[in-house]
Amino acid sequence: MGFALGPRAIAAGYKLAVLERTGSTNADAIEAARAGERGPIWFVTSEQTAGRGRRQRPWIAPKGNLAATVLEVLDVAPAVAATIGFAAGLAEEAALEKVSLEAALRLGEGRPRYALKWPNDVLADGKKLVGIGLEAEAVGDRLAIVVGIGTNIVAAPEGMPTPAVSLAALGVQISAEELFAALSDAWVEFRGIWDNGRGFAEIRKLWLQRAARLGEPIAIHTGTTVLEGIFDTIDETGCLIVRTAEGRLVPVAAGEVFFGPARSVGAA
């Protein structure tokens, strides 16, 4: 079985570039935009050798994992474009639920619990399963937005700040091709709700319903400082809102989130 778009993605006019092996699907998408590609188009591979996650950490997809990037060229401001990552998280979580349920029914086994971790991760049973990376670059009078989604299907990286896991280790026996078809269709749904940022209020509501550890203690590394408090919500721009012990509501635009107090950082 090869990679193929789902029926909703085909009907919506998405194109597909299948790569047997590549350094980075995000880099492929950006290069295509620079060369005149205006999408929407998916770049997909089951073997990525030089991908990058947040803070430029390596995000390698050994053969059998899924690295998929969608390129959208839109007339939106960069701050609005950044909120598309929440739509991506919802799309991935919906695709995982679909294929996991199908696998469970086929094999007669249970399935993991998925949750969304701010800003752009998907967790399975509390461990990192998916990383989502956003990039944007001006092309003419528009913005080329690439959304890279890396899923651990057969193997998970070690030595990550948050322990990672693969679907195989969780007993979910599905292929990268199966998940991608479901993801391409789910993307059409949540990209449509997002609607170039106009529907972010609805995306925010849906995201919060699936948020990991909402209302619980978190610690956020923001470079040189650590902020502790309660994960209160995300605001209308996508910033995480932390309620401190003093009752202050502090917005955080970027940082590494750890569950529990600062002394437990690295443990979860």
Sketch out the chain's domains with CATH numbers.
Answer: 7-209 (3.30.930.10), 217-264 (2.30.30.100)
For 157, the 3-state DSSP assignment is coil
CA distance 246 to 166: 39
Residues with pLDDT less than 70, the chain? 1, 50-61, 106-110, 261-268
Alpha carbon 133 to its chain's center: 7
CA separation, residue 37 to residues 139, 140, 194, 235 (Å): 10, 12, 22, 33
At 260 the pLDDT is 77
| H or E element that contains 88 | helix 84-107
Question: What local confidence, expressed as pLDDT, does residue 263 receive?
Answer: 46
**Predicted local distance difference test score (pLDDT) of residue 156:** 92
Angle, nearest 10°, between helix axes 176-194 and 84-107? Answer: 140
What is the per-residue pLDDT for 92? Answer: 98
Rounded Cα distance, 153 and 170, in Å: 10
According to the model, what pLDDT value does residue 162 have? 78
Phi first, then psi: give them for residue 195, nearest 5 degrees.
55, 55
SS (H, E, C) 188-252: HHHHHHHHHHCCHHHHHHHHHHCECCCCCEEEEECCCCEEEEEEEEECCCCCEEEECCCCCEEEE
